[in-house]
Amino acid sequence: MALSNVLELPASGFNFENSARNAVLEDVLGDGKTKTPKPMKTGTTIAGVVYKDGVVLGADTRATSSEVVADKMCAKIHYIAPNIYCCGAGTAADTEKTTDLLSSNLTIFSMNSSRNPRVIMAVSILQDMLFRYHGQIGAFLILGGVDFTGSHLYSVGPYGSVNEVPYLAMGSGDHAAMGILEDGFKPRLELDEAKTLVCSAIHAGIMSDLGSGSNVDLCVITRQGVDYIRPYQESEFKDQRQGRYKYKPGTTPILRENVEPVEVEVMQETVQKMDTA
Amino acid sequence: PPHWSPGTTIMAVEFDGGVVMGADSRTTTGAYIANRVTDKLTPIHERIFCCRSGSAADTQAIADSVTYQLGFHSIELDEPPQVQTAANLFKEMCYRYREELMAGIIVAGWDKRRGGQVYTVPVGGMMTRQPVSVGGSGSTYIYGYVDSNYRTGMSREECLQFTAKALSLAMERDGSSGGVVRLAVISEQGVDRQVILGNQLPRFSAA
């Protein structure tokens, strides 16, 4: 039994304690009938297009946990750097953490070198990390950004494979979205054409794929800056709330109030000097 | 595991003065074509390229690592590296980690000591020099064509035609190969890259 004031550093590598616990629970609880909940996957449609002045990224906003919609307005376009954003499909936790880690590393680089990171740096860091973990991190990512070498769009797979392409769709709705992109893409599109194209592509995914739904988010990245439009297009199937679920303070009347102080004795006092030089 | 893998056709041919390398452009995840314009001809050094087949992630990682090692070695040497050195670096990595990797690589290029050279490093990590080498899932369909049509002493143009035709035949028959044909000619003068689009590929009458 460890003392509570000893710092326990976590062991390196993946921690599979919960997997062992889940296996025991399944045995004990159900005779094989109870299944532990599956990790939340984003069951997604994400897409990206390089246009005349930059990159347009798009995503739906549904997060599913098996057959239940866990989040109707989840944000799948993640901030990486002021000039780089990343759409994530696959396991929600993995895409979230991976993009966070990448963003932190690139911020440190920016501080050290006083410049905005290049898109190829983000790609290389991701590729290196995902290859090292041999596909255990379920992150299917679309990285888009603009730096002084131009506008770039990359796909990064969970095993660490990278492809640079002018247009791209990923996620469970990628087949539907890709159809729209293959039909409508031309080199050097105008901004409005590009936004309409990406929105239609995501919309196709939302309509044809059960794992995608709700609204369409767009993110436009140019040399001048970023326009994060959330939502760009709202779902036409939004429900109307029938009542108000918030209660005003004072709704429940207070009948009686009784204050009792709790007696506490100081048993042990330790002072640890901290070196703040 | 359903990872991205280029079911591929890759090829390289030596000629007097350099090498011609070619590859198709299809990357598949199962039955879906994840990238129909892949570039499988990867530069390792100024006059040394490699053709990648097998797992996309594995071959990209290996190529990156060899590019670094070769660049470092070249700086220490203070002269352009030999193609044989690059091939050996690939072989070392592919053989040492043969259980974990799935990579079939053809290394080709030009150096001033031995001229144009083609080395093949198939799955398993063997390395050997060949005047003509084919690889990838589509290569099985063109061994006959290559064996019967290759002659020593072909010119640069003849090698280009030969490679383009061989790749087209393989792409016609192999479902995992397709898209466009990417070619690269490496010689003392440098590297000349070409693309042959789908509708410009050589056609063969088959009813």
**pLDDT score of B2:** 42
Taking CB atoms and an 8 Å limit, are A131 and B61 in contact across chains?
yes
**pLDDT score of B55:** 93
By C-alpha distance, which of B44, B58, B178 is closest to A162?
B58
> Which of helix, strand or coil describes residue B43?
strand
By C-alpha distance, which of B143, B118, B124, B119 is closest to B54?
B124
Please identify among residues 173-192 of chain A the ones whose CB lies closer than 8 Å to any CB of chain B.
175
**pLDDT score of B4:** 47
- Is B8 part of the annotated catalytic residue set? yes
Rounded Cα distance, A31 and A122, in Å: 47
Please identify among residues 100-129 of chain A the ones whose CB lies closer than 8 Å to any CB of chain B.
127
Check residue A41 and report its DSSP letter: B
Tell me the per-residue pLDDT of A39-82, one tens digit each, with 9 for 90 and over.
666 589 999 999 999 999 999 999 888 788 888 888 999 999 99
**Which residues does chain A have within 8 Å of residue B1's beta carbon, measured at their own beta carbons?**
135, 159
Check residue B125 and report its DSSP letter: S
Q: Check if B4 contacts A (Cβ < 8 Å).
A: yes
**Which residues does chain A have within 8 Å of residue B62's beta carbon, measured at their own beta carbons?**
none
CA B15 from chain centre, in angstroms, equals 15
Check residue B198 and report its DSSP letter: G
To the nearest whole Å, the CA of A220 is away from the closest chain B CA by 23
Strand partners, B12: B21, B133
Task: Give the angle B143-B149-B150 at the CA atoms, nearest 5°.
Answer: 90
**pLDDT score of A18:** 74
Task: Find the closest chain B residue to A132 by CA distance.
Answer: B61
Q: Check if A157 contacts B (Cβ < 8 Å).
A: yes
**Which residues does chain A have within 8 Å of residue B27's beta carbon, measured at their own beta carbons?**
161, 163
Task: Find the closest chain A residue to B35 by CA distance.
Answer: A163
Q: What is the pLDDT along chain A (277 residues), one digit of tens a residue?
A: 555 556 666 666 667 777 778 778 777 776 666 666 666 665 899 999 999 999 999 999 998 887 888 888 889 999 999 999 999 998 888 999 999 999 999 999 999 999 889 999 999 999 999 999 988 999 999 999 999 999 999 999 999 999 999 999 999 999 999 999 999 999 999 999 999 999 999 999 999 988 888 899 999 999 999 999 988 988 877 777 788 788 888 889 999 999 999 998 989 999 988 887 6
